[in-house]
Amino acid sequence: METNLQELKQVAKLAKIELSAQEEEKLIKQIASVVNWVEEIQKVDTSALTCTTADFTPKREDSPVQFENAAALTGAFNDKQDNLLKVKKVL
């Protein structure tokens, strides 16, 4: 597959990565070369594979836990009002 540079630029936007014109020129080409390299895994025959979920990450119980240093978390907010995180307008 010849990686579509335009598509990678679109992906960068989706990932909320803003690139300068200079960065875009260099990074997107580099990523395209990596995509072309990692594509080699597509030739591996995986048809005989029977995947199980046995080794998947066990889920912990979904119950609330008290974090002892909550003040440090809210203290790190870049902008806040009272004890709430303040963000810029959405639209």
Partner 1 sequence: MRAIDIAQKVNSGEVSALEIITKTLAGIKEKNPSLNAFLEIFEEDAIKRAKEIDALPQGKKGRLAGVPVAIKDNILYEGHICSCASKMLENYKAPYTATVVKKLLKEGAVIVGRTNMDEFAMGSSNENSAFGPVKNPLDLARVPGGSSGGSAAAVASGMVPVALGSDTGGSIRQPAAFCGVVGIKPTYGSVSRYGLTAFASSADQIGPITNNIEDNQLVLSIISGQDKKDSTSKPAPQNKQEKQNLVIGVPTDFVINLEKEATLAFKQAVELLKTKGVQIKEISLPHAKYSAPCYHILTASEASSNLARFDGLRYGYAAQNTKDLEDTYLKDRTAFGPEVKRRIILGTFSLSSAHAGDFYLQAQKVRELIKLDFQKALKEVDAIIMPTTPNGAFKIGEVEDILTLYLADLFTCPANMAGVPALSVPFGKDKNNMPLGLQIYANYFDENLLYKTAALLGGK
Q: Could you list the residues that contact partner 1 (CB under 8 A)? A: 7-8, 11-12, 14-19, 23, 26-28, 30-31, 33-35, 37-42, 44, 46, 49, 51, 57-60, 67-69, 72-73, 76-79, 85, 87-91
- Interatomic CA distance for residues 7 and 14, integer angstroms: 11
Minimum CB distance to partner 1, residue 61 (Å): 10
Minimum CB distance to partner 1, residue 66 (Å): 13
Residue 60 identity: R
Residue 41: strand, helix, or coil: helix
Minimum CB distance to partner 1, residue 43 (Å): 9
Question: What is the DSSP track for 54-85?
Answer: TTSPPPPP------TTHHHHHHT-SSEETTEE
